[in-house]
Structure 1
Amino acid sequence: MLHASSQRFISTSSRLHHTHFRFPPKPSRSFSKPRHIHQTQIISHPSCTTHNEFLDFFEHILRQCTGHKQCKQVHAQIITTGTSQSEFLAAKLVTAYARIGLIFDAQKVFDTGPVEGRSNLLLWNSILRANVSHGFYEQALKLYDKMKNLGVLGDGFTFPLVIRACAFMDRLKLSKNVHSHVLQMGFQNHLHVVNELIGMYGKLGRMDCARRLFDRMRVRSYVSWNTMVSSYAFNYDCDGATEMFRRMELEGLEPNPVTWTSLLSSHARCGRREETIQLFGMMRVRGVGTTAEVLAVVLSVCADLAVVDRGKMIHGYVIRGGFKDYLFVENALICMYGKCGHVEDADKLFLGMESKNLVSWNALISCYAESGLCDEAFTIFSQLNNHPFMRPNIISWSAVIGGFSSKGRGEESLELFRQMQSIGVMANSVTISSVLSVCAELAVLNLGKEIHGHVVRALMQANILVGNGLVNMYTKCGSFKQGHLVFENIDSKDLISWNTMIAGYGMHGLGENALRIFYQMLELGFKPDNITFIAVLSACSHVGLVTEGCRLFYQMIEIYCIEPQMEHYACMVDLLGRAGLLHEGSNIVKNMPMEPNARVWGALLNSCRMHKNTDIAEETATHIFNMNSEITGSYMLLSNIYAASGRWEDSAKVRISAKTKGLKKIRGLSWIEVKNKVFMFSAGNTMQGGLELIHGILKDLALQMEREGYTPDKRIIQQNVDKELNLMGEA
């Protein structure tokens, strides 16, 4: 479609029909009806038109191009008419190609453009904008460097583009160099340039530099204030964002919806979720128009708080406010319902969506996976895999792999990981973390080492999530040297890194090593949390460090102000009980500020078995049985305690009681990996091949143990043998 005024460019002397292009119709009173423009019709006699009119005409046509065919046809017309040497048209061609995503063609136009264009700032800015807008930041910076070397000086349009590229490249030194160019060229007071500099330093985590620039500004726009607030939000500094928000009000500016969005986002990112909800309420009271972005932030907070009632209230506001057409809002609603455990509502919302993107599918898959419904998650995943236009991405794969991993279905999780690799989907840190967790639980060290090799090749070893996963895998597999080496190579250790290393040493009975890591952590200024103390108290328990454990328990309460939870009390009962201090352990249980659960009583009962104390064991067992606990192990423990004391009748009664309640002991399982193959053994299974050879080795080991002075308690052994024979009989 052409502007009516373009009729003057059409030569009436030419009526040849050559290759043509058609512009899509667009209703406008200044546009004629759609028509075919023939190649020869644009070629006019020199006497009928001027060079500038040609440039205006083609510039107008290029603005109307919406597809690659149109763009290329106009490009051909420009070459035919001899106007391709115009720097102005070259810049417009670059912009047109970039607008429809043809960056390669845009670059080709720039590279083959007129020699005089090498000094044309419009052309340079066009190619810079094309690269920055499509994420080719490295190429944009190379072009800027080339531009400087040719002596072309940037302007107020050049520097914002280059500064934005620096921000996304995360290169502080380069960013400061560009900042110095800004100062040399005298743009230190240019509003748009300084706004971009503030945003750049914010993305680089240098809020001190951003704040100095902001304070020196003679004139500030809403963009200046909003950039500061959003930069504080990006850097998890909600106090800084709040301070800037209040300062804005004090200087007479009313925060707009963008400002409020950044303020709410800062509080949500900092984990101050209740305050985020309160700010949203304040925003509504002040009559500030709610945006779709604000609703998405508030819905994410409702999801994290698992407050489905508030989430439903926001859902109602979404419907009443007309925000249902925003896809990211609907996706946020699915996530909210999923994290609150209302997967049916999430599914219903998903099915009712008119349009879905990959985020929608991933949100629903994650809902089911995080709710422990990994089979349902896999069903949705399979539907996505058969979709005509979309395929699962790494987020989809990570969700189902993590879902099976969290439910203890490690083999299926690993099989999915293998399938993902076979089709060429590159794993991310979340996927690797899930697979490493499976390797740790199954104690498959060789596979864990293979994953480690993949991590090194993919240059992911610097990722803290992956590093912590590797430490966990190596320590749980008993490979402490390698685990400690990975731990030491983590540049920015977080509390999870330290907790994982402490727990790894502790669970294998290396309490002194665990304490050494704990005190090293304190020296470096880390503050332990409740997980840290569970790990370190458990480590003390396994090696009998009673005095040290009691001292740490006291410090946890008095120095670090951590209220003991059920797990801490269980550790202390186990610590005292293992050391034979059964009365002290019993007193802790009786004086707990909350009702002890079956695991706390179980720790005390296990200590009674170790020290053959039937009196406390009977009292403890009474509490457990009164709780209607379905932990079969407690019944088996008491039965073994009676058996060890020769009270066979009582032992039998306990087992009958467990059987009457329908409790069944899960058969003991163990497994070992040999030559990349996992061999699993279960109690009572005498049909597995190769057991004869293993039994022979076990007899040799038993004889060697007896020669070295170890005498097994054959009463318990006999009781366990009888128990396994009964299980075999039931099977």
Structure 2
Amino acid sequence: MIHGCFLASRHLITLPSLLTLQRSVTSYNPSSLNTRLVRPVLYSSAQNELLGFFDNLLQQFSACAEHIKQIHSPIILTDASTSGFLVARLISAYSNFGLLDDARKVFETSLVECFSNLLFWNSILRANVTHGEFLEAVKVYARMRLFGIWPDAFGFPLIVRACAMLGDYNLCKVVHCHVIQMGFQNHLHTVNELLSMYGKVGRMDIAHILFDKMSTRTHLSWNVIISGFSRNFDCDGARQMFLRMESEGWHPNPVTWTSLLSSYAKCRRHQDSWGLYVQMKRIGVEITAEALATLISVCATMNIPDKGEMIHEYVIKGGFENHSIVINSLISLYGKNGGVKAAEHLFSGLHSRSIVSWNSLISSYAESGSCDEAFAIFSQLEKLGEHSMIRPNVVSWSAVIGAFAAKGQHEESLELFQRMQFAGVMANSITISRVLSVCADISALRLGREIHGFIIKVLRDVDLLVGNGLINMYMKCGSLKDGKIVFDRVEERDIFSWNMMISGYGMHGHGDRALETFDQMIKAGFKPDEVSMVAILSACGHAGLVSQGRKLFDQMRTRFEIEPQVEHYACMVDLLGRAGLMQEAHDIVQNMPMKPNACVWGALLNSCRMHKNTQVAEKAAAQILNLDSEMTGSYMLLCNLYAGCRRWDDSANVRLSAKTKGLKKIAGHSWIEVKKKVYMFSAGKAMQTGMEEIHWMLNVLSYQMEEEDQGCKTEQDLAKQL
């Protein structure tokens, strides 16, 4: 209840009388504002006094939404709702409490009477923009044009900001033309918004021209243009503008320094980011919370926890412990470096936890491989969402889905994706790429196709991340034609796109097509990286292209300026070993510039198994047994090789050695897709419910194959006798 009284001109109007007037409205609801009530006729002077009274009341008692509604009813009864000024106050008051629907209803019911009042239009524009309803703001602008109303210096910046957030370049151009038509091209606030708009849509060339034509600039103008370069990953442009700012006599403020720091971080120039931070401290620049958050993210990316701990000390000394943006970054830092306990401690100390805080903790567990713990935190967030506005968003779902996918728990990952869809959360490119990677791992081609259909129907635009995910899925599932179609349709390819195509052709034995794609990549201006060379050498190995593989390996240093790593030597050993060139493969192992690891010896040992070369196998076995490796594959190869040669004691010794080291063979998995559901077979585990029929059919097929095999042998024996 509001208490007090107010003096409106000559009349003393007390709140009890106002509340009595309000109670005459039996059931107030903003949705019923179209109802035309019988209002008392007021003289002009009395009406002006009452408008001033209501304006004063709205300003002084705006701390509670219920108070605003109590004041709103008498405004309707006294005909004060015909005042554009007062209606604008009401719209702003409702907007401040997040009651955007009520604000819009007030706007709609007063539109006819207040359409010529610019303050009225600006209030609903600001309400929509403030709450992120940018498309609605543009629709309001379109209605202004229909009414013949042009925005003023307060309205145009809001419209420009809405267009910028929508990211529609054509719409941005149209509004820019309107700005020029109305003569606001030199209005400082409007031009600053235009600079920001072109930065958001990636047209820094136009932003630069606008900036050069500005007759008056402020620190905000410089910060906006530097931030635009930063947003578009042009740290050199940001640096040049920073130097120009200094040369023209301007002193960069903390926001300017933070923008430059952010540009270095986005361009992954981490050493420059750290150097800039050191320079800021040396010359006494104020370190903002945003700058600290950026620097912490750099430490997390560079995997330098010691510097991250230095920043943490500065956070404590500088009093930034209550800045959620800083603490959230620290949670991510510790999570990425395996310090999940420290991350959880920071999270528990937060007084106010936003969805970003929850997502940071979930991601911390997810990135450390603790998918069960990540899911537990996610479940807590789900329960919290039942009683508050904070509930899992697309980032939360993507983190947990990715955690299970990375851990190899594909079924759980797909089930979560299905739950996400039922929850009505729209997947983004990160979510889709992670689910596509699951489809690729388990060869779920049908499910991958369905997700592709979802992308076309819902997401529409296939960005690079999703495009690469589709290429990877189709190539690993053996649908090479579909993979090539997606690859051809991706406009902005990167080195990952090419590598996936080369690797896909290679793993399916199409060495010639892998070589052809490799040559096309070079002609397109892409320089092969270490992954490219592993993919093409592996492709040559699977296809038996020995001479081509040798040539490419020799060109790594001379042509591509890539120093061969242990993975490349392993590919060459595998290439030569598969071709039966065992001695040459063994010579490569002996002459490697680095110590061979288990992968190299394993490749050699596998070749020995293929060609039953026990002489080289003995040498490889001795090395493998001396290695402190946790890879069980090499032990199994050696064990099987001895067993194949009936050297049972040696086979048992290898098994004993693996057991002594605590190594366990990873259970084999296979998947089958039946009626849009993926089933997993795992060695040594009980079958899933409903799999008995499949097991029975496998027994039937095995029996039939054995009979057919016996029949073939009988026919061959008869043919020999004849």
> So what's the TM-score if we normalise by structure 2?
0.87
Q: Structure 2 residue aligned with 1:130, among 127, 131, 138?
A: 127
What does residue 67 of structure 2 align with?
A: 70
Distance 1:286 1:627 in 2: 52
What does residue 98 of structure 2 align with?
A: 101
What does residue 30 of structure 1 align with?
A: none
Question: Is the CA contact 2:455–2:462 (under 8 Å) kept in the aligned structure 1?
Answer: no
Q: 1:608 to 1:288 in 2, by over 3 A?
A: same
Distance 2:419 2:100 in 1: 34
Distance 2:510 2:712 in 1: 23
- Match of 1:112, SS? helix
Query: Does residue 12 of structure 2 align to residue 10 of structure 1?
Result: yes
Question: Structure 1 regions of 5+ residues with no counterpart?
Answer: 22-41, 710-731
What does residue 706 of structure 2 align with?
A: 699
Query: Does residue 205 of structure 2 align to residue 208 of structure 1?
Result: yes
Question: Is the CA contact 2:22–2:74 (under 8 Å) kept in the aligned structure 1?
Answer: no
What does residue 33 of structure 2 align with?
A: none
Question: Is the CA contact 1:10–1:43 (under 8 Å) kept in the aligned structure 2?
Answer: no
Question: Is the CA contact 1:125–1:158 (under 8 Å) kept in the aligned structure 2?
Answer: yes
Mapping of residues 559-570 of structure 1, within 5 Å: 559-570=559-570
What does residue 419 of structure 2 align with?
A: 419
Distance 1:357 1:659 in 2: 48
What does residue 270 of structure 2 align with?
A: 273
Distance 2:579 2:541 in 1: 8
What does residue 510 of structure 2 align with?
A: 510
- Match of 1:491, SS? coil
Distance 1:410 1:213 in 2: 51
Mapping of residues 480-519 of structure 1, within 5 Å: 480-519=480-519
Distance 1:598 1:523 in 2: 36
AA in 2 matched with 1:243:
Q
* Pairwise CA distance, 1:211: 0.5
AA in 2 matched with 1:212:
I
What does residue 549 of structure 2 align with?
A: 549
Question: Is the CA contact 1:167–1:175 (under 8 Å) kept in the aligned structure 2?
Answer: yes
Query: Does residue 236 of structure 2 align to residue 252 of structure 1?
Result: no
Deviations 1:549-583 (A, max 9, x none): 22322333233322222212211221122222323
Query: Does residue 696 of structure 2 align to residue 689 of structure 1?
Result: yes
What does residue 477 of structure 2 align with?
A: 477
Question: Is the CA contact 1:11–1:45 (under 8 Å) kept in the aligned structure 2?
Answer: no
- Match of 1:59, SS? helix
Question: Is the CA contact 2:671–2:678 (under 8 Å) kept in the aligned structure 1?
Answer: no
What does residue 725 of structure 1 align with?
A: none
Q: 1:126 to 1:581 in 2, by over 3 A?
A: same
Q: 1:551 to 1:129 in 2, by over 3 A?
A: same
Distance 1:140 1:562 in 2: 53
AA in 1 matched with 2:395:
I
What does residue 318 of structure 2 align with?
A: 321
Question: Is the CA contact 2:433–2:469 (under 8 Å) kept in the aligned structure 1?
Answer: yes
Distance 1:315 1:155 in 2: 47
Distance 1:17 1:611 in 2: 97
* Deviates most, 583-592 or 657-666: 657-666
What does residue 335 of structure 1 align with?
A: 332
* Deviates most, 308-317 or 58-67: 58-67
Q: 1:132 to 1:2 in 2, by over 3 A?
A: farther
Distance 1:364 1:12 in 2: 53
What does residue 678 of structure 1 align with?
A: 679
- Match of 1:689, SS? helix
Q: 1:175 to 1:704 in 2, by over 3 A?
A: farther
Query: Does residue 398 of structure 2 align to residue 402 of structure 1?
Result: no
* Pairwise CA distance, 1:190: 1.4
- Match of 1:678, SS? strand
Distance 1:485 1:17 in 2: 70
- Match of 2:564, SS? coil
AA in 2 matched with 1:296:
A
Identity %: 55
Q: 1:461 to 1:516 in 2, by over 3 A?
A: farther
Question: Is the CA contact 1:537–1:572 (under 8 Å) kept in the aligned structure 2?
Answer: yes
Question: Is the CA contact 1:429–1:460 (under 8 Å) kept in the aligned structure 2?
Answer: no
Q: 1:347 to 1:655 in 2, by over 3 A?
A: closer
Q: 1:667 to 1:356 in 2, by over 3 A?
A: closer
Q: 1:647 to 1:112 in 2, by over 3 A?
A: closer
- Match of 2:505, SS? helix
Query: Does residue 51 of structure 2 align to residue 55 of structure 1?
Result: yes
* Pairwise CA distance, 1:167: 0.8
* Pairwise CA distance, 1:265: 0.8
Q: 1:297 to 1:148 in 2, by over 3 A?
A: same
AA in 2 matched with 1:592:
M
* Pairwise CA distance, 1:296: 0.9
* Deviates most, 493-502 or 114-123: 114-123
Q: 1:485 to 1:665 in 2, by over 3 A?
A: same
Distance 1:708 1:171 in 2: 73
Question: Is the CA contact 1:233–1:266 (under 8 Å) kept in the aligned structure 2?
Answer: yes
Deviations 1:337-383 (A, max 9, x none): 11111111111222222232222222112111111111222222233
Question: Is the CA contact 1:86–1:114 (under 8 Å) kept in the aligned structure 2?
Answer: no
Q: Structure 2 residue aligned with 1:197, among 191, 194, 198?
A: 194
Distance 1:8 1:705 in 2: 115
* Pairwise CA distance, 1:186: 2.1
* Pairwise CA distance, 1:648: 6.5
* Deviates most, 356-365 or 652-661: 652-661
Deviations 1:472-520 (A, max 9, x none): 2222222222332333333333322222222122111112222232222
Mapping of residues 211-250 of structure 1, within 5 Å: 211-250=208-247
Distance 1:206 1:2 in 2: 55
What does residue 76 of structure 2 align with?
A: 79
* Pairwise CA distance, 1:275: 1.4
Q: 1:659 to 1:704 in 2, by over 3 A?
A: farther
What does residue 25 of structure 1 align with?
A: none
Distance 1:677 1:127 in 2: 51
Question: Structure 2 regions of 5+ residues with no counterpart?
Answer: 24-38, 717-722
Question: Is the CA contact 1:11–1:43 (under 8 Å) kept in the aligned structure 2?
Answer: no
- Match of 2:81, SS? coil
* Pairwise CA distance, 1:599: 0.5
Mapping of residues 159-198 of structure 1, within 5 Å: 159-198=156-195
- Match of 1:119, SS? coil
- Match of 1:386, SS? helix
AA in 1 matched with 2:164:
A
Mapping of residues 514-529 of structure 1, within 5 Å: 514-529=514-529
Query: Does residue 354 of structure 2 align to residue 364 of structure 1?
Result: no
What does residue 578 of structure 1 align with?
A: 578
- Match of 2:115, SS? helix
What does residue 150 of structure 1 align with?
A: 147
Q: 1:646 to 1:375 in 2, by over 3 A?
A: closer
Question: Is the CA contact 2:604–2:620 (under 8 Å) kept in the aligned structure 1?
Answer: yes
- Match of 2:483, SS? helix
Distance 2:195 2:254 in 1: 20
AA in 1 matched with 2:144:
M
Distance 1:4 1:434 in 2: 62
What does residue 436 of structure 1 align with?
A: 436
Distance 1:509 1:549 in 2: 14
What does residue 349 of structure 2 align with?
A: 352
- Match of 1:200, SS? helix
AA in 1 matched with 2:11:
F
Distance 1:73 1:499 in 2: 66
Distance 2:18 2:276 in 1: 69
- Match of 2:679, SS? strand
Distance 2:631 2:42 in 1: 97
Q: CA RMSD in A?
A: 3.2
Distance 1:707 1:215 in 2: 91
Distance 1:419 1:14 in 2: 53
Distance 1:137 1:72 in 2: 26
AA in 2 matched with 1:160:
P
